[in-house]
Amino acid sequence: MMDIKVEKVNFRDMTEFYWYEDFFSSDEIEKIKETAKQFEFEDGKAGSVKAGSEVNHEVRSSRVKWMLLNDDSTWIYDKIALGIREANKECWDFDWDGKAETIQYTEYRASENGHYDWHQDCGDGYQSLRKMSAVVILNDDYEGGKLEIWNTDVDKLDQKSGSMVVFPSYMLHRVLPVTSGLRKSLVLWVGGTPYK
């Protein structure tokens, strides 16, 4: 007969998110926007690494900047990483080696039907190493544009300027169409080692 060892397991809810209100102050938000000015816009893309991501305005309509790590942006990376580390400890306990991708500064314009349909942040290629996604709201003077995460109530929260949400990159999410104004946000993905 086989000898089976039973251990107590600390279960985790792998479909929850972690919410911060006022994660960045209004002064910090202005500093982020000023730092973003040094980088160039490009059209937001969607799709897999293998198939090649492309501009498809039916799936995603946004403009993005890649905020490279430099003397002006290091503090932003550091602060978001601290928030992700706390969220991970409280919620999922993923094996994260501290690696992060480049921060994406994103704008969704009502005049361009700004939105991003249902998608996951992890996929094939380098995206398979993503474990957690963080979204920082940089303004709230727009209408529409709510972030939704499948089967959660994140859209019921006050998604005001300075708030940040962290969630597993495999969770489906979307940004609803912006109906008036311009929505600004940051996105950062972290991971490093494959899921085991």
For the chain, what are the domain ranges?
A: 18-44+61-191
Residue with tokens 């940089």: 138
Task: Break the chain down into helix, strand, coil percent, rounded to 5.
Answer: 20, 30, 50
H-helix or E-strand spanning residue 128 = none
pLDDT at 172 over 90: yes
* Rounded CA separation 79/166 (Å): 13
Average pLDDT over residues 42-49: 86
Which residues neighbour 153 within 8 Å (Cβ) at sequence distance 6 or greater?
A: none
* Rounded CA separation 195/170 (Å): 11
pLDDT at 54 over 90: no
Q: Using 50, 70 and 90 to split pLDDT, how confident is the model at 8?
A: low
pLDDT digits (tens, 9 = 90+) for 74-129: 999 999 999 999 999 999 999 998 889 999 999 999 999 999 999 999 988 888 89
**Which CATH number, 3.40.50.720, 2.60.120.620, 1.10.540.10, 2.60.120.650, labels domain 18-44+61-191?**
2.60.120.620
